Amino acid sequence: MTLTESAPAPADEVVLEAVGLTKHFPVRRRLRDLLSRTPAVVHAVDDVSIELRRGRVTALVGESGSGKSTVARLLAQLYPRTGGDIRLHGRSTRVRGGRRFRAYVRRVQLILQDPFASLNPVHTVRYHLTRSLRIHGNAGTGPDGLDKALADLLTRVSLTPPERYLDAFPHELSGGQRQRVAIARALGADPEVLLADEPVSMLDVSIRLGVLNLLQDLKDRLDLAILYITHDIASARYFADETIVMYAGRMVEGGDSETVTQRPAHPYTRLLIESAPDPERITGAGGDGAAAGERGHGEPPSLIRPPSGCRFHPRCPAAMPRCATDLPPPIPVDDAPGHWAACWLFDAETVTAEKAENAGQAGTETAR
Amino acid sequence: MSDQVLQIRGLCVDYGVGADAVRAVRDVDLTLHRGEALGLAGESGSGKSTLAYGLTRLLPPPGVVSGGQVIYHPADGPPVDVLTLSPAKLREFRWAETSIVFQGAMNSLNPVHKVSTQLLDVIRAHEPKSTAASRLARAKELLRLVGISADRLDSYPHQLSGGMRQRVMIAMALALEPQVVIMDEPTTALDVVMQRQILGQLAELRERLGFAVLFITHDLSLLVEFSDRIAIMYGGRIVEEAPAARLYAEPLHPYTEGLLHSFPALHGPRRELTGIPGSPLDLRAMPSGCAFHPRCPKAFDGCDEQVPVLGAPYVDDPARAVACRLHPAVAPLSR
C-alpha cells in the first residue's frame, strides 16, 4: 500500500488556498443586449478567499444558488476561473486538462453530491477503485499488490468484508454504501485535499451521520484538509472546525463553527439559523427565535444584476443607507478571534453616523 | 380532537402480484382527526409515500392495495370507504375532499400553461355551474391566501421561483376547501429560509381554514416543530405514534431514538452522534421478526422471531403507541 499515513508536515499548514476567487458565467445574449456595452454575466462567485488547512474541516454554508458548489468546482479546476488565484502549497496553479491536471487531481479530489449518478452503473466497485488506483500510481506491484490496495481502500471506508463489495454493481448497494465507494475512489489517489460537495444531502437521515463520522475519522487518520459544502448549518457545526457562510456569490461571515452558529453576527446568518428546523423551539429549551417581523423576507437576488453594495440589503431587516451603496469588507467581530462578518453593522463609524442621522431626523421632526 | 376525518384500517399495499409481490405497506392503522397536523416520518423505502398514494387510490401499477379500509368522514353525511368508491364518486371525492401536494411539487405544474389556466381548471371541473368571473375572483383570492400577488396569475411556471411554485401548488390544493390535505415531502427541494416561510404560512392557513394535514417527510426535526402528532414508519409498518412533543422528549422505539439522534443540534452542547448503524431496509429481503432488529442496538432474544404489534405502553397515556418488545402493550389502543 502506498498511501502515506501522515506526511511530515507541520499541522495547520495551508494546503490549498483560494484568494479573491471570482467566477462569472456568460449569459446568452439576446438581440437587445447587443446594444449594451458590457456583456451580461452571472456573478456566480465573487471575491472568495478560503484557506484549507491540513487536518481541518472548513464548511461552506449557503442556500442553493449561493455559489458554494461553483467554489468547489473552481478549486477542483473543473472550471477556469475569471479572476483571483488558487494556490496549492503557496504556488499559484492554473491547469487545463492533460498531465498537469492529473497531477493536480492526485492531490485535490472531489466528492460529488449524488452517489447514484457519480458511479458508472455498468461497472463494478472493483473497476471504479482499480481505475483510481492505477491512474494515480497507487496500485502497488503485481496483482497481489492491487488486491491488497483494493481491500485496504474498502476497509478504510468501513465496507467490510471487502470481498463482499468488490464485485458488486452500484445498483446492488444502498445510497450510503455507494457514497462510501465514491469516497474510497477519491482516497485511491492518496489526496491531500478532499472537496466534498454536499456529500450527505442525498442520503437517508439515518445514515448521514455514519458518512460524516467516516469523513471525520479519515481526516484525523490521513491528515486531510476537507472542504465541506452544505446547506445544513447544523451539520457544519457538528462536523467542521471552521464555517464560512456564503450569500449570492459572496462570503458574508466566517469564523470557527461554534462561534458562527452560536453567536451569528451577519443578519443573513441569523436568518439562516432561525430558519433551520429546531425541535428545541417547541420544548422551550432553545432560544425562542426573533419575532417574525424581524426576520428577513423575500428571495435571493438575481446574480445577473446583483444588488449594489451589500447583496443582502434588499432583504435585510437592519439595512442602513450605506448598505445600498458601499460593499462591506470583512470586519472583525470582537467576540472571538478569527470571527468576521461582511456587514456595516460591525463598523463603529458607520453605526455612529447612522445613529446621528436618525437622531437628526427625529430632532427636526420634533421641532416641527 | 376526537372528531375523526380519515381512518385507515389495516391498509396493505403490494407492488406486483403473486410470488414476486413486495409488500410496501403492512397492516397500517392510522387515524387523522379534524384540523390536526399528523406527521409521517421514515427513511426512503419505509412506505410513507406509498401509504399516501394507496389511501388516495393514486397508486401507479404495479402497486395494488391488497387489503384494508380507508374510511372518510365528510363534514356532513355518512362515512364512506374510499377504496370502494365508484369511479364517478371517486372523481367527486378527489380534490374536493382530499387534495395532495406532491413530492417535488415544483415540477408538478404544467410548464406550457399559465398559472391561471391551471388554477381555474380545478375549480371549473368541480363546480361546472360557477361563472367565469367568480372563478377568477376565487383564483385571485387563493393566490392572496398564500402570499402571491394576483397579477402573477398570468405567469408561466418558469417565471416563478421555486418557493412561489410551491405556494401555487398549495393554493391549488386548497382551491376546493378540502377537509384533508396530504403533503408528500412538500419542502424537500426548497432552501431552509423558504421552507420555514411556507410551513409557517401553512400552519396559519390551517388554523384559519381548519383542514387536517397529513405531512410526510423524512425530516423528523421539522415534524416535531410543525405537527401535532407524529407516526414513524419502518419497513412498511407504523412503529411508533405519539404527540410531537412527547415523541421528541421521550422516544420509545429504538428506531425513533436513532432518528432523533441523527440530527446534529444547532443549540446546546456538541455531542458525538452516531446515527443508525447498517443500511436501510430492502423490502425484497425482509428480516424475520421485527424489521428493525438487524440494526437495533437494543435487540434481544426473540426479536428476530416475533413481530411486535402496535400497542399502548402506558395505562394512563392512550395517545402513545409503540411496536417494540421492549415496551409491551398494557392497555388497548384508543381509536
Residue B312 lies in a domain: yes
Q: Are B10 and B238 in contact (CB under 8 A)?
A: no
> Does the residue B204 lie in any domain?
yes
Residue B333 is assigned to a structural domain of this protein: no
Quote the pLDDT of residue A292: 42
A210 in contact with B at a CB cutoff of 8 Å? Answer: yes
Q: What is the pLDDT along chain B (335 residues), one digit of tens a residue?
A: 458 899 999 999 998 888 888 888 989 999 999 989 999 998 877 888 889 888 888 888 888 898 899 999 988 888 889 888 899 989 888 888 999 988 776 678 888 999 999 999 989 988 888 899 999 999 999 998 888 888 888 989 888 878 888 889 989 998 888 999 999 888 777 788 888 888 888 888 898 889 999 999 888 888 888 899 999 999 889 999 999 989 988 899 999 998 888 888 888 777 777 778 887 777 778 888 888 998 888 888 888 888 888 888 887 777 889 998 888 877 666 55
CA distance B143 to chain A (A): 16
**Which residue among B163, B273, B279 places its CB closest to the CB of A299?**
B163
Report chain B residues whose CB lies below 8 A from the CB of A209.
262, 264, 273-275
Q: What angle do CA B244, B250, B252 make, to 5 degrees?
A: 100
What's the total number of domains in chain B?
Answer: 1
299-358 in chain A: CB under 8 A from chain B:
299
Chain A residue whose CA is closest to B163: A299
Question: What is the domain extent for residue A261?
Answer: 14-29+37-119+195-204+221-367
Q: Say whether B161 and A63 touch across the interface (CB within 8 A).
A: no
Cβ contact (<8 Å) for B270 and A238?
Answer: yes
Residue-number span of the structural domain to which B57 is assigned: 4-97+178-266+273-322
Is B89 part of a structural domain of the chain?
yes
Contact status, residue B260 vs residue B266, Cβ threshold 8 Å = no
**Tens-digit pLDDT profile for residues B299-332:** 888 888 888 888 888 877 778 899 988 888 776 6
Say whether B221 and A285 touch across the interface (CB within 8 A).
Answer: no
Per-residue pLDDT tens over the stretch B77-95? 888 898 888 999 898 888 8
Residues 6+ apart with CB under 8 A from B223: B39, B41, B215, B217, B230, B244
| Residue A337 confidence (pLDDT) above 50 | yes
Judged by a CB distance cut-off of 8 A, whether residue A206 touches chain B is: yes
pLDDT of residue A150: 93
Q: Which letter does DSSP use for residue A39 in this model?
A: P
Q: Based on the structure, what is the number of domains in chain A?
A: 1
pLDDT at A335 over 50: yes
The phi and psi torsions of B250 (rounded to 5 degrees) equal: -145, 75
Per-residue pLDDT, B106: 64
A chain contacts of residue B262, beta-carbon cutoff 8 Å: 205-206, 208-209
Compute the nearest-CA separation of B86 from chain A (Å): 38
The pLDDT, as a whole number, for residue A37 is 66
**Neighboring chain B residues of A204 at a CB cutoff of 8 Å:** 43-44, 218, 280
Residues of B with CB under 8 A from a CB of A: 43-44, 161, 163, 191-197, 200, 218-222, 224-225, 244-245, 248-249, 258-260, 262-268, 270, 273-277, 279-280, 282
Residue A143 lies in a domain: no
Contact at 8 Å (CB) between B160 and B168?
yes
Quick check: is A108 in a domain?
A: yes
Q: Which amino acid is at B129?
A: K
Whether residue B57 lies inside any domain: the answer is: yes
In a domain, A65, yes or no: yes
Distances (CA, A) of B236 to A216, B54, B286, B292, B328: 33, 12, 10, 11, 20
* CB-based contact A333:A98 (threshold 8 Å): no
Residue bearing cell 402480484: B17
Which band of pLDDT confidence, cut at 50, 70 and 90, is reported for residue A358?
A: confident
Among A63, A262, A278, beta carbon nearest to B221: A278
**B266/A213 touch (CB, cutoff 8 Å), yes or no:** no
Q: Out of A275, A283, A299, whose CB is closest to B195?
A: A275
What Å distances lie between residue A39 and A31, A48, B8, CA to CA?
12, 22, 59
Q: Is residue A295 part of a domain?
A: yes
pLDDT, residue A2, reads 44
Separation in Å, CA A101 to CA A80, B118, B161: 12, 50, 37
What pLDDT does residue B43 have?
A: 82
Q: Which chain A residues contact residue B282 at CB under 8 A? A: 174
Of B224, B274, B282, Cβ closest to residue A209: B274
Lowest mean pLDDT among A66-70, A154-158, B23-27, B267-271: B267-271
Task: Give the pLDDT of residue A176.
Answer: 86
Cross-chain residue pair B191–A296, CB shorter than 8 Å: no
Pairwise CB contact (< 8 Å): A282 & B224:
yes
Q: Is residue A126 situated within a structural domain?
A: no
What is the pLDDT, as a whole number, of residue A4?
44
Placement of cell 446568518 in the chain: A269
Is B301 exposed, middle or buried (CB count within 10 Å of its CB: 0-12, 13-18, 19+)? Answer: exposed
Chain-chain contact of A299 with B192 (C-beta, under 8 angstroms): no
Confidence category of residue A365, pLDDT binned at 50, 70, 90: low
**Domain assignment of residue A84, yes or no:** yes
Listed in sequence order, the DSSP H helices in A188-302 are 205-222, 233-239, 257-262, 267-275, 280-283
Tens of pLDDT along A240-294?
A: 999 999 999 999 999 999 999 999 999 999 998 988 887 776 544 333 343 344 4
Residue-level pLDDT at B211? 92
Task: Report the residue from B219, B273, B276 with minimal CB separation from A207.
Answer: B276
Q: Which residues of B touch A228 (CB under 8 A)?
A: none
Output the pTM of the full model. Answer: 0.83
CA–CA separation, B224 and B246 (whole Å): 9
Q: Please state, in angstroms and rounded to a whole number, the distance separating the CA atoms of residues B66 and B75.
A: 28
Test mutation, A157, A201, A204, chain B, max B CBs within 10 A: A204
* A267 in any annotated domain: yes
What pLDDT was estimated at residue B332? 64
Predicted confidence (pLDDT) per residue in A193-215, tens digit: 999 998 988 888 878 888 999 99
A180 three-state secondary structure: helix
Of B44, B161, B225, which has the smallest distance from its Cβ to A204's Cβ? B44
The C-alpha cell at A199 is 456529500
**Any domain includes A141:** no
Nearest residue, CB atoms, A277 vs list B43, B221, B276: B221
Which of B106, B260, B266 is most worth mutating to test chain A (most A CB atoms within 10 A of its CB)? Answer: B266
pLDDT reported for residue A36: 67
Chain B contact present for A279, CB below 8 A: yes
Instruction: Say if the Cβ atoms of A277 and B225 lie within 8 Å.
Output: yes
> What number is the ipTM of this complex?
0.78
Domain holding B48: CATH number?
A: 3.40.50.300
CATH number for the domain harbouring residue A72: 3.40.50.300
In a domain, B168, yes or no: no
How much of chain B, in percent, has pLDDT values that exceed 90? 24
